Amino acid sequence: MSQDIFDRVKKVTVEELGVKEEEVVEAASFTEDLGADSLDVVELVMAFEDEFGIEIPDDEVGEIKTVGDAVTYISKKSAA
C-alpha cells in the first residue's frame, strides 16, 4: 500500500469526518468505526476526488467501505 496515498486519505478523512488521526487505520470502516452517515460518505468521496484528481463513479463507491479500501481503490485509479 502506498504510504503517500494512505497519508493523504488519512488527512482528508480527519478533515471531513472530524475524527482523530489515530482512529484512521487501514481496517477502519467509514460508517461503522468513523461515524459517517450516508451523506458524509458522499461528501468524503467527493473530497477524495478533489484530493487525487480522479473521478469515482457512483456505482464504484460501494467498493470503498474502509480506509484500506479507499487506498486500494485510489492506488488502482491513479496507476490507470
Partner 1 sequence: MMADRPKPSGRVVVTGIGGVTPLGTGVDVFWPRMLAGENAVGPITLLDASEYTTRIAAEVKDFNAEDWMDRKEARRIDRFIAFAIAAASMAITDSGIKPTEDEKEDIGVLIGSGIGGLTYMGEQHRRQVEGGPSKVSPFLVPYMIPDMGTGMVSIIHGFKGPNTCVVTACATGSNAIGDAYHIIKRGDAIAMVAGGSEAPINELGLGGFCAARAMSTRNDDPAHASRPFDKDRDGFLIGEGSAVFMMEDYDYAVARGAKIYGEILGYGMSGDAYHITQPSPDAGGATRSMKIALRQSGLAASDIGYVNAHGTSTYYNDKLETLAIKNALGEAAYKIPVSSIKSMIGHTLGAAGAIEALVCLLAMRDGKIPPTINYETPDPECDLDYVPNVARDATFKYAASNSFGFGGHNVTLILGR
Where does this chain bind partner 1 (CB under 8 A)? 15-19, 35, 38-40, 42-43, 46, 55
How near is the Cβ of 56 to partner 1 at its closest, in Å? 9
Active-site option among 7, 37, 58, 59: 37
From the CB of 1, what's the least distance to partner 1, in Å?
Answer: 26
Is 50 tagged catalytic?
no
The three cell numbers of residue 63 are: 467498493
| Integer Cα distance of 7 and 21 in angstroms | 10
Kindly tell me the burial class for residue 23, based on how many C-beta atoms sit within 10 Å of its own C-beta (0-12, 13-18, 19 or more).
middle
Q: Which residues are catalytic?
A: 37
